[in-house]
Structure 1
Amino acid sequence: MAGTTVADDGLVEAAFSRAAQELGVEPGSPEHARHLDHVRATMGESKITVFRTLFGTEERARRANAAFERAYAGLVDSGVCAPLPGAEETIGRLRAEGRSVVLTTGFSRTTQDAILAALGWQDIADLTLCPADAGRGRPYPDMVLTALLRTGTESVRQIAVAGDTAYDMLSGVRSGAAVVAGVTTGAHAAPDLRAAGATHVLGSVAELPSLIPEPAR
């Protein structure tokens, strides 16, 4: 979602900085810079997994994750969350063509629901998934395969995955999706997306429908 269909505008980094400060990592410190580099490199991964790597113990990781979720929800509620240009129209077009659209995220269900509510997107997609719904988050293929099962899709080769991070690309490749499209509106640049296995690199998710043949009528 963030960076692919939803404008991020630095919300993840801002929320992380607030969470890290609660755990004693001061903004501007070398430790904060190292942590922020890791957050940027792992955009798209389940956030609790990121915090486990950064803070070592499960208790500290859960504290950091809870602080991050509170901070992000507060930023979303402040009205800075917005759809990326063409995202709503693209989702509407795909569904009008008879395709199932599933929105996935590395955030928790609580944060995902807050984003959907802020945008008025509660009914925009056929299904929304977070890591807890599938078992594991990206770069594992679990959310893509859960989407396949829950939408009744017949084959992984009928799936198109779109995302703005290298972890999105890895997840799509590992699932066997026919189209794994990287978009350059978010965290990672075209070379990173290609290196992670993107079959296509797009300037916007609005270009996605043109990659997919229209379904037989």
Structure 2
Amino acid sequence: MKYKLLLSVLALGVSASTFAAQRYITNDLFIYMHSGPGNNYRIVGTVNAGEAVNELEYDSDSQFAHIHIIDSGKDGWIEADKLSNTVSLDAQLKQNQTQLQQTQQQLKQLKAETQQTEQSKSETIDQLQQQLSTEKQQTTQLHQQLSTIMAENKKLSSQLSSIQENVQMQWLLRGGMVAGAGLILGLIIPYLPRRKKHKEERWM
């Protein structure tokens, strides 16, 4: 019985790792990874925006996903809504730029091929120029979206720094109040009236 149970557990583990789905982190600044499915679990690291990960399992109760970072090999739990089936805008922009360069190269090659008829060349060049114009518009849109996201990330970083400074200031103020109270007590105690001893007077 125990042997069959062990085989079942091993089979489930192999199945989970085999069917791990590749996902991408959304365009946030960074995301904390936890040791379990929830924000109450210990933070074990961070994962940056746009990184490719494997989704190992999903917890429907907490809506957290167990991920494995492909590049670093680390794993942890993050909120499932931070995962995307598509690559980040930054990666899309690079891919679009590569396609743009390839289209430009094809356009140059077609212009250099004088063996084709002028009509065929003209039609092909028009199609490529239209495709080139469309890809330029897509590249411009991706640039704008990426700039907006970078501005939002910068704002979030500034807010995080401000919060950390406020926390440090509160600790300093509390420490100063405790030290001040100790100093005042140290100055007052020597001047407090001492209790007189009446034992010797009774024997007299």
Larger Rg over CA atoms: 2
Q: TM-score, normalised by structure 1?
A: 0.21
Identify, as 1 or 2, the structure richer in strand: 2
Bigger relative CO (Cα 8 Å, ≥ 6 apart): 1
Q: TM-score, normalised by structure 2?
A: 0.22
Identify, as 1 or 2, the structure richer in helix: 2
